[in-house]
Amino acid sequence: MVTQSGQGEQMGAGEQQDARQGPGQKTPRWTHEMLMNMDRRFIFVVIAIAVAAPLIFPLNLPVRSSREAEAYFNEMEKLQPGDEIIFSFDYEPDTMAELDPMSVATLRHAFRKDVRVLAQTTYAGGVGIAERILRQVAQEYDKVYGEDYVFFGYNPDYSATILRMGESIRSNYPTDHYHAPTDGIPLMKGVDCYDDIELLVTVTASALAEYWIIWAGGKYKQRIIAGNTAIQAVLIYPYYQAGQLAGFLGGLKGAAEYEKLIGVSGAGLLGMDAQSVAHLAIVCFIILGNIGFLIQKSRTKQTGGPRDSRQGG
Amino acid sequence: MKRTGPVVFGFLIGMLMLIQYFTQVPWIDDRYNNVLDWKQVVFGITLILGVVSLFLHHWKKIERKTGGWGYSVVTIAGLLFMIAAALIFGREEGPYPWMFDHVQAPMQSTMFALLAFYVASASYRAFRVRSFHAALLLTAGVIVMLGRVPLGEMMGFHIGEHYFSLGTISTLILDYPNLAAKRGVMIGVGLGMTATAIKIILGIERTYLGKGA
Amino acid sequence: MWEQAGIVVGALVTLAIFSLLYKDNPLYRFAESLLVGVSAGYYLVQYCFSAIYRKFYIPVIGEGDLWLLPGGILGLLILLRLSRRVQWMSRYAIAFYVAAWSGYLIPSVLQERILIQIRSTFPPSLAEASIWAVLGSLFLLVGVVSILVYFFFSAEHRGALGRISQVGITFLMVGFGASFGYTVMGRVSLLIGRFQYLFQDLPQALSF
């Protein structure tokens, strides 16, 4: 799968070097060139197979839960029947593959414990996702809209929404998503601000977890747990270490860990085999590329040719 | 009126929001809540303005028959269809949520799923052990990548009697050097945000108001 | 029936987007344009309901709360950006929005992103924690301080300052490596979601 000229791939530095050596010097140059310049479509096919094969033929690899996922689980587990939580669907369809499993598992856990849920979203595209998941999980546990859960829909401006809810949820949401006045919803009796809420759960693809921490957690002392995409999870560690975040889930793996903790299998656990094999495939590609690079580097040193212009960076 | 007025207005609003944090005066609390409500309306209308601009952009392309104008017809048709669907059948049922669930959501998520292929290809091409720091980045990345999935958690090595799994090593990386890096950047960015916010309230920073402000 | 048809349509548009992997093609561009239009329409409806109907119409027209009227006026000023002649009036709305955000950002960011983070970086005493916890915290402290030194551009990075900033770069590189690992994880997860849809949801909907 050596790159053909004219396919938009640039000639590697080693290739240029070897071309300058002339016909008199015989060096088996195909090895490192092949390793360093695989066709991108070959990589695409391997990744597609690495993801698809374990979904069709599962390996059932064991999933171990992390300390952060256990903390998230424990916060949910502490809730008592009749307690209220705010659940914010802070994501859109682009990341639903990662975050839907967390939302589904968290709502299952909440409804199983008869915890009441005030759901909302700070993304317009989160409305459809929230409606689908709430409907699905509420049906599973025979929960009644207005008594066991309520959906306020989307509200523009996340920062103002977070702060306004600290003062009054009713004023922030005069009606629910379905035009019913908030005052008339049975679940909202005696509930109006963060003081009346046991736990806030944000499932987010952006920096929203940080803003919930800064404003709802910092100003109103609201206890918070977060489900994050993998990319965001790595940024959230300082808040968790500082105690500003009570627990969090990171990416599909986090969802799988939580599903295992609550004992209900979902898309997270089902995807872990594919996740493992795909990661292994990518690591193999990186290693192969570097083997090629090191061979090229050693040959450049032997022949005393010019260094790779990108070296040393 | 055109230049100083907005800056003075911004100063008054900014100071109100800042002072509210430190006081418990009911009148200030009420105005603070009003500003939060107004802000939501302004934000919402700004987003509407964005959609209107998108519509006008594609409309002009169709009018002028510029290259790829046929795709603009598709965009405008999609936009108008969704508005009509919501007006006729409502937001809760019918074609509006159906289009979201079965057209928008699959396409939007696939658009991002494409990145899995590109990130694999880019990792293969870009990550080369060119220097000590590059090697460090690559090693940390590979350990975290493997250590956070079930297959990698099963991998490890022995040093004497102690067994170190990739999972444990990746946890150590995330808990210490990663945390330090993220916290260092976070504090730096936090200081920058605070300084910029102060400059905005005091009217020193005005570029956000556009040309001539 | 509609649900099943929807899953088939979803699979078709998924494949249309995936066709970009081979090369840019009219099918992909059609799907991309449709996505932009449908999303914009979807969002517009949500914005109108939440910002205009619920946050303005209900309180002001329905309940007569005139304190919310200025929000609508500021919103209208934003729309004046479309007219070159009176565009300057929209500056009031922009100044309002940005300054309000700045006002409530300052104390919260100072407290939560700076002061608490600094406090949490200092090691606990040996009476409170194990020797390993204290050593770990000291390591953390070295990392944070050296990174802050690296970002300190008011003095030239020479001598001791240069060496400390090199330590900072080392920490940053490991941090970026961790971010890279998690980025790959996130992107692969998204692909898994689409493949689950194609290989599990679709056959189920078609009752294979």
Question: pLDDT tens digits, residue range A222-252?
Answer: 999 999 999 999 999 999 999 999 999 999 9
Calculate the CA dihedral of residues A267, A273, A275, A279 and round it to 10 degrees. 180
Quick one: pLDDT at residue A95?
96
**How many domains, chain B?**
1
**Pairing between β-strand A247-250 and β-strand A149-154 as defined by DSSP bridges:** unpaired
Contacts with A, B 50-89, CB within 8 Å: none
Q: Considering only CA atoms, which of A252, C76, C143 is closest in space to residue B149?
A: A252
Quick one: pLDDT at residue A28?
53
- Sorted by sequence, the CB contacts under 8 Å of residue A262 that are 6+ apart come out as A73, A105, A108, A109, A112
Dihedral class, residue A265 (left if φ above 0, else alpha if ψ from -120 to 50, else beta) = beta
Residue B43 forms part of a structural domain: yes
How large is the average pLDDT for residues A16-40? 62
Q: Which amino acid is at B140?
A: A
Residue B40 forms part of a structural domain: yes
User: What is the C-alpha to C-alpha distance for residues C21 and A3, in angstroms, rounded to an integer?
Assistant: 17
**Pairing between β-strand A116-121 and β-strand B156-159 as defined by DSSP bridges:** unpaired
Decide if B44 and C91 are in contact by the 8 Å CB cutoff: no
Q: Considering only CA atoms, which of B83, C117, C122 is closest in space to residue A236?
A: C117
**Pairing between β-strand A149-154 and β-strand B162-165 as defined by DSSP bridges:** unpaired
Q: Which domain holds residue A284?
A: 1-17+28-57+271-313
Asked whether the predicted pLDDT for residue A113 surpasses 50, the reply is yes
Decide if B180 and C68 are in contact by the 8 Å CB cutoff: no
| Interface check B185 vs C, CB under 8 A | yes
**How many domains, chain A?**
2
Tell me which of A7, A63, A121, A275 to substitute to probe the interface with C (most C C-beta atoms closer than 10 Å).
A275
Decide if C182 and A243 are in contact by the 8 Å CB cutoff: no
- Sorted by sequence, the CB contacts under 8 Å of residue A250 that are 6+ apart come out as A66, A68, A228, A230, A232, A233, A234, A236, B148, C182
Residue A210 forms part of a structural domain: yes
Structure token digits, residue A100: 């839907």
Q: In terms of domains, do A36 and A1 share one?
A: yes
- Sorted by sequence, the CB contacts under 8 Å of residue A212 that are 6+ apart come out as A88, A162, A200, A202, A222, A224, A226
Asked whether the predicted pLDDT for residue A30 surpasses 70, the reply is no
Q: Which residues pair with A116 in a beta bridge?
A: A84
Q: Which residues pair with B141 in a beta bridge?
A: none
How large is the average pLDDT for residues B182-198? 95
Q: In terms of domains, do A254 and A178 share one?
A: yes
Interface predicted TM-score of the whole assembly (ipTM), two decimals: 0.90
How large is the average pLDDT for residues A122-130? 96
More confident residue, A77 or C127: A77
Task: Using pLDDT thresholds of 50, 70 and 90, give the confidence band for residue C3.
Answer: confident
| A18: closest CA of chain C, how far (Å) | 31
Minimal Cα distance from C182: which residue of B?
B145
What are the residue boundaries of the structural domains of chain C, listed by start?
123-208
Residue B99 forms part of a structural domain: no
Q: Which amino acid is at A16?
A: Q
Q: In terms of domains, do A158 and A172 share one?
A: yes
Minimal Cα distance from B151: which residue of A?
A276
Asked whether the predicted pLDDT for residue A299 surpasses 60, the reply is yes
Residue B34 forms part of a structural domain: yes
Q: Which residues of C touch A (CB under 8 A)?
A: 21-22, 39, 42-43, 46-47, 49-51, 54-55, 58-59, 63, 101, 104-105, 108-109, 111-113, 116-117, 119-120, 178-179, 182-186, 188-196, 199-200
Tell me which of C60, C154, C171 to substitute to probe the interface with B (most B C-beta atoms closer than 10 Å).
C171
Dihedral class, residue B184 (left if φ above 0, else alpha if ψ from -120 to 50, else beta) = alpha
Q: In terms of domains, do A137 and A230 share one?
A: yes
User: A84: domain CATH number?
Assistant: 3.40.50.620
Average pLDDT, chain A: 88
How far CA A263 is from CA of A106, A269, B14, in Å, comes to 12, 11, 49
Task: Using pLDDT thresholds of 50, 70 and 90, give the confidence band for residue A27.
Answer: low
Residue B180 forms part of a structural domain: no
Q: In terms of domains, do A216 and A129 share one?
A: yes
Quick one: pLDDT at residue C127?
78
Decide if C182 and A233 are in contact by the 8 Å CB cutoff: yes
Instruction: Using CB atoms, list chains with 3+ pairs below 8 Å to chain B.
Output: A, C
A286 vs B47, B112, B127: nearest CB: B127
Chain B residues lying within 8 Å of A66, measured CB to CB: 171
Q: In terms of domains, do A86 and A178 share one?
A: yes
| Cβ contacts of B193-199, under 8 Å, gap ≥ 24 | B193/C105, B193/C109, B193/C113, B194/C105, B194/C106, B194/C109, B194/C110, B194/C114, B196/C102, B197/C101, B197/C102, B197/C103, B197/C105, B197/C106, B197/C109, B198/C102, B198/C106
| Interface check B103 vs A, CB under 8 A | no
For C125-177, write each residue's pLDDT tens digit. Answer: 777 888 888 899 999 999 999 999 998 888 888 888 999 999 999 999 999 99
How large is the average pLDDT for residues C167-195? 95
Task: Using pLDDT thresholds of 50, 70 and 90, give the confidence band for residue B213.
Answer: low
How large is the average pLDDT for residues B190-201? 95
Q: Which domain holds residue B79?
A: 1-89
Cα-based angle B114, A63, B155 (whole degrees, multiple of 5): 90
